[in-house]
Chain A
Amino acid sequence: MDALITQLPVGLAIGAVLLLAALGLNFTFGQMGVINMAHGEFIMIGAYTAYVLHAWIGVNPAYSLIVALPVAFAVTGTLGWLLELGLIRHFYGRPLDTLLLTFGIGMILQQAARDTFGAPNVDVPAPPWLTEGITLGDIRIHYARLFILTLALTAVAAIAYYLNRSRQGRQMRAVIHNRDLAAVTGINTRRVDATTFFIGSGLAGIAGVALTLTGPTGPTLGTNYIVDAFLVVVIGGLGQLRGTVIAAFALGMLNATVEAWTDASLAKLIAFTAIVALLQARPQGLFTVKTRALT
């Protein structure tokens, strides 16, 4: 129990990072069903955006992180929008082709990062106001972790508002539920697809900026998170925001606590085994939309 409590901030921080990485996938994969393997590279580009703002443009580290968030959202959102418009749109209904295509795009982006920034990792210094922490009893809470957690929860709240309360969010849910019906209700489904991809990819950028607080930034940064992020979306139930949040923190806590008792590799093994067992019992994930239909 003590281990659980001391590992709580670590688990929540891992969960928050996973959540940020998965929130974008919740749109593109969970809602649209597109397996975008380049999503990890969008995360990486988000992180490098923070680096460029600090190291190339020379934005003051005290607030470069805050500036980087909207800039990274715009940069990766635009990249995602272009990817949907130029390529993915022509492969709808062909999931395996889309998977290969986006995997290739991911590799191109990784190589582009290597050519631009070099193969070694780079560091984005955290703002001075995030380098400290507070101690509560046995628990040490870093401000950086607290910031990531706040960022993740703020993103969830904003997405929940967008999906449930805004006109565009409802249109998005309508298109995802039944594309043809949405089209004959007067919704421009292509525009909605483009918007969905823009937001989903933009969220990857925000996740990337947050990751600069947890360690160095390199061309393969996104690859380390992409599988876990896909798992979070699958466990949560495709397109289910509530499920994604719960799955991210559950996986984060599982990783942190098991890792405290064993080691990182074994923790991963145990987490994956638990996921396989869960998906055997509930292939549809934790949450689904309840209807009168028998499916």
Chain B
Amino acid sequence: MTTPHLTLTNLNAGYGRAQVLFDINLTITTGTIACVMGRNGVGKTTLLNTIAGLITPTHGTITHNGTDITTQPPHTRIHGGIAYAPQGHETFAPLTVAENLALAHHATKRGPTHLIDHALDRFPRLTPLLNRRAGLLSGGQAQQLAIARALVARPTLLILDEPTEGIQPSIVEEIETAITDIAAEGITVLLVEQYLDVALRLADTVTVLDAGRIIHSGNRADLTDTQAHALMAI
């Protein structure tokens, strides 16, 4: 259980001249749920985008399962087992739910279509909506589709950016359960989560960012709720 799955070493990244991340060092262990927290604008999404390959780091390395993926384009990383559901429950709006799932399946060329069925089993709300265009889904449905689409790629590392943002409480519960089940299957989860309660219930490890730097990193079990609240208040 202590095999490093993803290792970030001295990572600097940003947008042009605006540096957002400073000297990030982080190791995520296989099969755990790693939660990255912090206020708005501290660099959480930039961190995830850098890991997914949408942003090229200006310094440092990213190692996934022992392979240096720092310069790999996004699709190669996805083929290598990283899946990413970006912030804002993004889907391909002009395509149907079924087409969204098929697209991920074909793009990664990973095995039989039962992966789509498996993803739908996890989010049964999507099954009756298969022929609906994704642009017409509610926020909660779209988020479930976003996670299902990521799962169809059969990842070993699932990256989720604020999966519960702007979603009604009953669906937040469903998403929380799904994340727990996904991790129980041995998939490593890297989660950015604003809701402290959700994050603290799910996380095995907690990393707190402030102004682009890691100000805390450790096991969830070693952190009391009061300490967690104090860290988030910085």
Given known A184-B74, A187-B103, contact A174–B92 (CB-CB < 8 A): yes
Shortest distance between the CB of B115 and any CB in chain A (Å): 13
Shortest distance between the CB of A80 and any CB in chain B (Å): 23
**Chain B residues whose C-beta falls within 8 Å of the C-beta of A182 in the assembled complex:** 92
A184, A187, A188, A291: which has the most chain B beta carbons within 10 Å?
A: A184
* Closest chain A residue, CB of each to CB of B84: A184
Shortest distance between the CB of B16 and any CB in chain A (Å): 12
* Closest chain B residue, CB of each to CB of A168: B106
Once the chains bind, are B95 and A183 in contact (CB under 8 Å)? no
Residues of chain A having any CB pair with chain B under 8 Å: 167, 170-171, 173-174, 177-178, 180-190, 289-293
Please tell me if B220 contacts chain A, counting CB pairs below 8 Å.
no
**Chain B residues whose C-beta falls within 8 Å of the C-beta of A292 in the assembled complex:** 135-138
* Closest chain B residue, CB of each to CB of A187: B107
**Chain A residues whose C-beta falls within 8 Å of the C-beta of B136 in the assembled complex:** 290-292
From residue 75 to 129 of chain B, which have CB atoms closer than 8 A to chain A? 75, 78-79, 83-84, 86, 90-95, 99, 102-104, 106-108
Given known A184-B74, A185-B78, A186-B79, contact A178–B103 (CB-CB < 8 A): no
What are 26 inter-chain pairs, A to B, with CB distance below 8 A? A170-B95, A171-B103, A171-B106, A171-B107, A173-B92, A174-B92, A174-B95, A177-B93, A178-B92, A180-B86, A181-B86, A183-B75, A184-B54, A184-B83, A184-B84, A185-B78, A186-B104, A187-B103, A187-B107, A188-B75, A190-B73, A289-B135, A290-B135, A291-B135, A292-B136, A292-B138
Shortest distance between the CB of A170 and any CB in chain B (Å): 6
Please tell me if B153 contacts chain A, counting CB pairs below 8 Å.
yes
Please tell me if B212 contacts chain A, counting CB pairs below 8 Å.
no
Residues of chain B having any CB pair with chain A under 8 Å: 52-54, 73-75, 78-79, 83-84, 86, 90-95, 99, 102-104, 106-108, 133, 135-138, 149, 153
Shortest distance between the CB of A238 and any CB in chain B (Å): 12
Q: How far is the CA of A189 from the CA of B74 in the complex (A)?
A: 9
Once the chains bind, are B74 and A289 in contact (CB under 8 Å)? no
B78, B102, B137: which has the most chain A beta carbons within 10 Å?
A: B78
Once the chains bind, are B90 and A185 in contact (CB under 8 Å)? no
**Chain A residues whose C-beta falls within 8 Å of the C-beta of B108 in the assembled complex:** 186
* Closest chain B residue, CB of each to CB of A163: B94
Once the chains bind, are A177 and B84 in contact (CB under 8 Å)? no
**Chain A residues whose C-beta falls within 8 Å of the C-beta of B73 in the assembled complex:** 183, 188, 190
Shortest distance between the CB of B85 and any CB in chain A (Å): 8
Q: How far is the CA of A187 from the CA of B107 in the complex (A)?
A: 5
Shortest distance between the CB of A176 and any CB in chain B (Å): 9
Shortest distance between the CB of A194 and any CB in chain B (Å): 14
Given known A171-B107, A183-B54, A185-B103, contact A178–B90 (CB-CB < 8 A): yes
Once the chains bind, are A184 and B52 in contact (CB under 8 Å)? yes
Q: How far is the CA of A171 from the CA of B108 in the complex (A)?
A: 12
Once the chains bind, are B94 and A289 in contact (CB under 8 Å)? yes
Q: Which of B54, B91, B102 contacts A180 (CB 8 A)?
A: B54
Q: How far is the CA of A188 from the CA of B99 in the complex (A)?
A: 17
